[in-house]
Structure 1
Amino acid sequence: MVNFQSFQGMITMVSEFYTGQNEEEEGCYTLLEVVDNTGTTVNFIVLPTTYFLNQAVVSTGDFVTGFYDANAPVPLIYPPRYRALIVVKHTSYQKVKADYFDNQLVSRDGQLKLNLSPFTPIQLANGQPFLRSPANRNLLVVYNFSTKSIPAQTTPEKIIVWCS
């Protein structure tokens, strides 16, 4: 099971990430250097399979949130280098959360509860509809507003089911 963790900040550098595997893969990987408001730096390796919400194109100066699997092995270097599973370019009108949601649609950290409407689009990362319940799954939830209760409650704008 994926243990989603995130890091958000401003992209300060975008460069090609050389894997050294073979010529076919040259140019297919990117390194994003992201710095938060405290000056902490994280490097995200963007793979061809990294999901970009709304297929956003990111560049230097953009504010982003990168989600990675905290259970995945990482090299012991500074700044840390994580394989980006999901990258979200910040906008003023949306919030996002990637986490496991239980049978009551409450996130693993207990901070967000989903109230589905019949109009909530639920889809796979490839854009195809997901025809089952999103409960007991890893989800990327896009929403605008939430209550101030604990857990906060929201009716999502969109749910992406993260099949691993």
Structure 2
Amino acid sequence: MNFMSFSGTVTMINDFFIMQNDPNVGCYKLFTVENGNGAIVNFVVEPSTYFVDHVTVKVGDDVTGFYDADVPVPLIYPPQYRAVVMAKNRSNEFVKVDFFNRQLVSSDGSLQLNISSQTKVLLENDQTFTGSPVNRYLIVTYSATTRSIPAQTTPRQVIVMCE
């Protein structure tokens, strides 16, 4: 997976229909997100979309949606992506979704994790993860970082994305 993100304010939330007479009406949503600079993205939110801290998102919330840039998308405007992870933006807290190698450095080389005994390491279902988080896709929430390259942080929480 090649995670990309888009941040902005949710301006609309509608039901998303997979097909006519869809038996799953209400299970899929379409979040319209505007970034304040005129860019708009529609995120398809599925029952399997992971919401960081299991928050409920409503119109007016500032969010970041993470999607797999390697998945084919329809050539429409505004672009429409399948949301894999959604995070409600908070001041002084950041979220990164990426593959972290055996040194716990993200695939883009921008962030290195220093996991402490205070870091919650969980599965997507909130159960404690007892394996090693290295060489995995992770959802990381953190605040302060060093000014080094890569930036280093001790995350508040690490969610292991088991495939």
Tell me, yes or no, whether TM beats 0.5: yes
Residues in 2 aligned to 1:62 and 1:47: alpha-carbon distance in whole angstroms: 18
Residues in 2 aligned to 1:163 and 1:74: alpha-carbon distance in whole angstroms: 24
Alignment-derived partner of residue 18 in structure 2: 19
Alignment-derived partner of residue 102 in structure 2: 103
**Structure 1 residue ranges (4+ consecutive) displaced by more than 4 angstroms after TM superposition:** none
Q: Which runs of 5+ in 2 are unaligned?
A: none
Alignment-derived partner of residue 80 in structure 2: 81
Say whether residues 1:43 and 2:42 are aligned partners: yes
Deviation of the 1:37 alpha carbon:
2.5
Deviation of the 1:38 alpha carbon:
1.4
Alignment-derived partner of residue 53 in structure 1: 52
Residues in 2 aligned to 1:24 and 1:82: alpha-carbon distance in whole angstroms: 22
Q: Which runs of 5+ in 1 are unaligned?
A: none
RMSD: 1.1
Alignment-derived partner of residue 135 in structure 2: 136
Residues in 1 aligned to 2:150 and 2:92: alpha-carbon distance in whole angstroms: 21
Deviation of the 1:22 alpha carbon:
5.2
Alignment-derived partner of residue 126 in structure 1: 125
Moved more, 12-21 or 108-117: 12-21
> What is the TM-score with the length of structure 2 in the denominator?
0.96
**3-state SS of 1:54 partner:** helix
Alignment-derived partner of residue 153 in structure 2: 154
Alignment-derived partner of residue 66 in structure 1: 65
Q: CA-to-partner distance for each residue in 1:93-144, whole Å, 9 max, x for gaps?
A: 4211001000000000010000111221111111111111101000000111
Instruction: Give the percent of matched residue pairs that are identical in Structure 1 and Structure 2.
Output: 52
Residues in 1 aligned to 2:68 and 2:134: alpha-carbon distance in whole angstroms: 20
**3-state SS of 2:126 partner:** coil
Q: Which amino acid aligns with 1:108?
A: S
Residues in 1 aligned to 2:113 and 2:125: alpha-carbon distance in whole angstroms: 22
Say whether residues 1:34 and 2:33 are aligned partners: yes
Moved more, 15-24 or 28-37: 15-24
Q: Which amino acid aligns with 1:28?
A: C
Q: CA-to-partner distance for each residue in 1:45-99, whole Å, 9 max, x for gaps?
A: 0000101111111111110000001111111111110000000001114211001
Q: How many corresponding residue pairs?
A: 163
Residues in 1 aligned to 2:116 and 2:123: alpha-carbon distance in whole angstroms: 18
> What is the TM-score with the length of structure 1 in the denominator?
0.95
